[in-house]
Amino acid sequence: MNTSIGPAAPFNDFIDSASGESAHENLGEWLSEIKEKGRDEFYKLGWPSPKLESWRYTNLNKLAKTQFRLPQTTELDKLPCHNIIPIDAPRIVLINGKLKRELSDLSEIGEGIFINSFQDMRDEQRALFCLANHAILPKEGLPIKALNDAILSGALFIEIMPGWQSDVPLHIVSIGYGDHVGFSSKIFVSAGENSQVNLLETHAGDSGSTYFSSCVSNIDIKAGARLGHYKFQNDTNTSTHLALAQTSIEADAVYDNFVMSVGGILSRNEVRSLITAPGVECCVNGAYLGTSNQHIDNTTFIEHAAEGSKSREVFKGVLADHAKGVFQGKIFVHPEAQKTDGYQMNRALLLSDKAEIDSKPELEIYADDVRCSHGATVGELEEEHLFYLKARGIDAESARRLLVEGYLGEVIDEIQSQVIRETLSKVASDLLKKKLFERSDGR
Amino acid sequence: MSILSIENLHANVGETEILRGINLKIEPGEVHAVMGPNGSGKSTLSYVLAGRDGYCVTDGSVEFKDIDLLELEADERANEGVFLAFQYPVEVPGVTGMTFLREAYNSRLRYEGKEEADAMEFLKLVRSKAKDLNMSDDMLKRPVNVGFSGGEKKRNEILQMAVLEPKLAILDETDSGLDIDALKLVADGVNALRTNERSMLIITHYQRLLDYIKPDHVHVLARGQIQRSGGKELALELEANGYAGFDGKG
């Protein structure tokens, strides 16, 4: 064990206890191996320093000084339904990173999707194999991945059969529960050739819980497939959420990603997409809503490694009170990725003098025949809009709510799945009432 | 009781006095036109009546029915029955016309202590109003005014007016930016909304709008005051002679 690197931080005690834990779990040597490797890698890399360009605006110092503990129990027998996406869909529930069968319901999932958790090792050898296989891939400079490995609590392996097409979304619900518990989960998705499926993730907590949640997703989208991947990050307001989604997209496939982040004292959603073949459409969009002293980081990286593909990235956020938003978006175009069509836009609406957005849109282009554009705007609600609504009888508070709702509605409209679009639009509207405009609710 | 009674109204924008003692009375069902050269204070008058921030009344009074209008917020004025049709209707991205108008309609109902209309009820109402005006309600499915032509924006204002049924409609330069066909359509809409009860204040630079919406009274506003009042013939006289002699330069 290499604990001598860096000053001993309370978080390290937690990592050490996590790496000792798997011995009790009868999950085989491979899990211990992942955890140990992760721990060693993490101690070697250390916490991401603000000196690293991609961590300049999000500081994890406070997290490193917080003492977490392993979840002692998963005895939560009821979902905190008001915190998760209200959708009637097959769902798989993770409590503190571990699969909870009693709360899951996969009866309507259909025969084209296989879902295995690594707690079910008797039947799902293949899942274990894939998990281990992916987990040992070297990922340089990604301490979040190493940390995720080091405290790994649970994983899902989702395999979508080639050609399987379904309108029924699959809802992955990850719930944090307890006082200063830390956990991590991994989600592996393999979308077979020409398959079409929508995945939905809710990350939330049971009321009053404080936790650290780390989630790493690895997604493979095979040729001609279409994967909708939508995430509602609604963790409790004392919790920390660090997520990293890595997607590899093959020829003529479509990846439609949307992250709506509204929860947690600190959250970072990092989405990295690699376009490996021509004809791909890759959409990485998101909406965020920050109030009180929330810190919300959206970091994206879209890599065009093949010609003739299209990427689109639109983020819109609303920040009130002392909330801080971070947007880092990069489109990287390799020399061979001619005819790339890339678009990137981040807009933020600041509702208070104390709110802040750090916005860094970037293009890095090594091909000469491409069409790429990017931009960023920051603004406030405009007086002329407010007056127009008031002149129609709408009171100031409702006018503000309508305008903010419209502002976020524009980016929610980017979601390609109609069902998810309508659902998240309702979720956003309710959240705005709850978090920003409580007074107009009371009539 | 007059619908609107303006007495000795003075108003500033910033440090500058724009309105310098306006007197005007409008009775139920009357249509008044206020004409004037650029910079005479026409738009300021409409904003002061509608209650826009940044327009500071320094003297005088405005009574609407028997209410002190200047005491009310913009939204309260609207709910009492004042409607301003904007010279430049604002584009509101992300908010559909239907959502916007239903919120406005329900605000009025709440203000009057009544039950709100549900979505279906409201849709029916809007459809019938649009039909009366010979319009389609399609534009209400799109975000308010976003990407609308000048004519569409003005027709949208008239449709809103039809749904909200104001007691006093202030039409601020409704003809600006319209070609003759669009102008006729908009004027037809306004005429369809004329009743014995509803009063209108039409603010315009040009006489041509008054060929289609016939006013009962015409006033010339210049240098922040009503300089002259008369009937329809005054508008024709202005058309022939211009505002020379009123703008203080002639």
Condensed to tens digits (0 to 9), the pLDDT of residues B205-246 reads 888 899 999 999 999 999 999 999 999 889 888 888 888 777
For residue B175, the model assigns a pLDDT of 87
For residue A269, the model assigns a pLDDT of 96
Q: Per the domain annotation, does B151 fall within a domain?
A: yes
For residue B248, the model assigns a pLDDT of 57
Determine contact: A381 vs chain B, CB below 8 A. no
For residue A144, the model assigns a pLDDT of 86
Q: Which of A394, A432, A433 to mutate to test the interface with B (most CBs of B within 10 A)?
A: A394
For residue A127, the model assigns a pLDDT of 55
Residues belonging to chain A:
443
Cα A26 to the center of its chain, rounded Å: 30
**Tens of pLDDT along A155-196?**
888 989 999 999 999 999 999 999 999 999 988 899 999 999
Contact B107 A398 (CB under 8 A): yes
- Bridge partners of A53, per DSSP, are none
Q: Quick one: three-class SS letters along A112-177?
A: CEEEEECCCCCCCHHHHHHHHHHHCCCCCCCHHHHHHHHCEEEEEEEEECCCCECCCCEEEEEEEC
Determine contact: A389 vs chain B, CB below 8 A. yes
CB distance A157 to A115 below 8 Å: yes
Say how many domains are in chain B.
1
Of A392, A396, A406, the CB nearest to B78: A392
Q: How many CB atoms lie within 10 A of CB B28?
A: 16
Residues of B in contact with A392 (CB under 8 A): 75, 78, 100-101, 103-104, 107, 160, 164
**Tens of pLDDT along A295-341?**
999 999 999 999 999 999 999 999 999 999 999 999 999 999 999 99
Cα distance between residue B211 and residue A82, in whole Å: 60
Q: What is the mean pLDDT of residues A358-378?
A: 94
Residue of chain B with shortest Cα separation from A406: B94
Whole-number percent of chain A with pLDDT over 70? 89
Q: Per the domain annotation, does B64 fall within a domain?
A: yes
Q: Give me the CATH number covering residue B209.
A: 3.40.50.300
Q: Per the domain annotation, does B139 fall within a domain?
A: yes
Interface residues from chain B to A (CB-CB < 8 Å): 50-54, 73-75, 78-79, 83-84, 86, 89-90, 92-95, 99-101, 103-104, 107-108, 110-111, 143, 160, 164
Q: Which two tokens stand for residue B246?
A: 């009123």
Residues of B in contact with A349 (CB under 8 A): none
Residues of A in contact with B90 (CB under 8 A): 384-385, 387-388
For residue A372, the model assigns a pLDDT of 93
First to last CA, chain B: 38
Give how far Cα A246 sits from Cα of A128, A220, A221, A240, B56, Å. 19, 9, 11, 20, 57
For residue B250, the model assigns a pLDDT of 39
Cα distance between residue B75 and residue A314, in whole Å: 34
Cα distance between residue A153 and residue A97, in whole Å: 5
CA dihedral (B121, B125, B131, B133) in degrees, to 10, reads: -160
Contact A385 B92 (CB under 8 A): yes
Q: Per the domain annotation, does B249 fall within a domain?
A: no
Q: Per the domain annotation, does B90 fall within a domain?
A: yes
pLDDT at position A420 over 60: yes
**Which residues have CB under 8 Å from B206's CB, separation 6+?**
B175, B239
Look at residues A93, A82, A99 and name the one whose alpha carbon lies nearest to residue A25: A99
- Bridge partners of A174, per DSSP, are A94, A203
Of B50, B53, B103, the CB nearest to A398: B103
**Tens of pLDDT along A198-226?**
999 999 999 899 999 999 998 999 999 99
CA B79 to chain A, closest CA, distance in angstroms equals 5
CA B80 to chain A, closest CA, distance in angstroms equals 9
Q: Which of B55, B92, B116, B167 to mutate to test the interface with A (most CBs of A within 10 A)?
A: B92
Q: How many CB atoms lie within 10 A of CB A40?
A: 17
Residue A135 vs residue B17, higher pLDDT: B17
Cα distance between residue A196 and residue A199, in whole Å: 10
**Tens of pLDDT along A117-159?**
766 644 555 555 555 545 444 444 478 888 998 998 888 889 8
Q: Per the domain annotation, does B70 fall within a domain?
A: yes
CB distance A217 to A244 below 8 Å: yes
CB distance A275 to A245 below 8 Å: no
**Tens of pLDDT along A245-295?**
989 999 999 999 999 999 999 999 999 999 999 999 999 999 999 999 999
The sheet with strand B55-64 has its strands ordered as B16-26, B4-13, B55-64, B67-68
Contact B100 A409 (CB under 8 A): no
For residue A397, the model assigns a pLDDT of 92
For residue B177, the model assigns a pLDDT of 83
SS3 category, A12: helix
Residue of chain A with shortest Cα separation from B53: A387
Q: Is the dihedral of CA A62, A66, A70, A71 positive or negative?
A: negative
Q: How many CB atoms lie within 10 A of CB A260?
A: 26
Cα distance between residue B160 and residue A79, in whole Å: 45
Give how far Cα A49 sits from Cα of A4, A59, A143, A239, B90, Å. 18, 7, 10, 21, 46
Cα distance between residue A131 and residue A188, in whole Å: 7
pLDDT at position A351 over 50: yes
Cα distance between residue A253 and residue A132, in whole Å: 26
Residue A139 vs residue A20, higher pLDDT: A20
For residue A80, the model assigns a pLDDT of 86
Residue of chain A with shortest Cα separation from B143: A406
Phi (first) and psi of residue A53, to 5 degrees: -55, -45
The model's pTM: 0.89
Least confident of A51-60, A69-78, B59-68, B112-121: A69-78
For residue B247, the model assigns a pLDDT of 65
Cα distance between residue A367 and residue A360, in whole Å: 22
**Which residues have CB under 8 Å from B52's CB, separation 6+?**
A387, A391, B74
Q: Which amino acid is at B202?
A: I
Enumerate the domain spans of chain A. Answer: 10-277, 383-443
For residue B158, the model assigns a pLDDT of 94
Residues of B in contact with A402 (CB under 8 A): 95, 99-100, 103
Determine contact: A442 vs chain B, CB below 8 A. no
Residues of A in contact with B143 (CB under 8 A): 406
For residue B79, the model assigns a pLDDT of 97
For residue A118, the model assigns a pLDDT of 66
**Tens of pLDDT along B73-87?**
999 999 999 999 999
For residue A186, the model assigns a pLDDT of 87
Q: Which domain holds residue B209?
A: 4-241
Mean pLDDT of chain A: 88
Angle CA(B39)–CA(B45)–CA(B47) in degrees, nearest 5?
A: 105
Mean pLDDT of chain B: 92
Q: Per the domain annotation, does B162 fall within a domain?
A: yes
Residues belonging to chain B:
250
CA A413 to chain B, closest CA, distance in angstroms equals 9
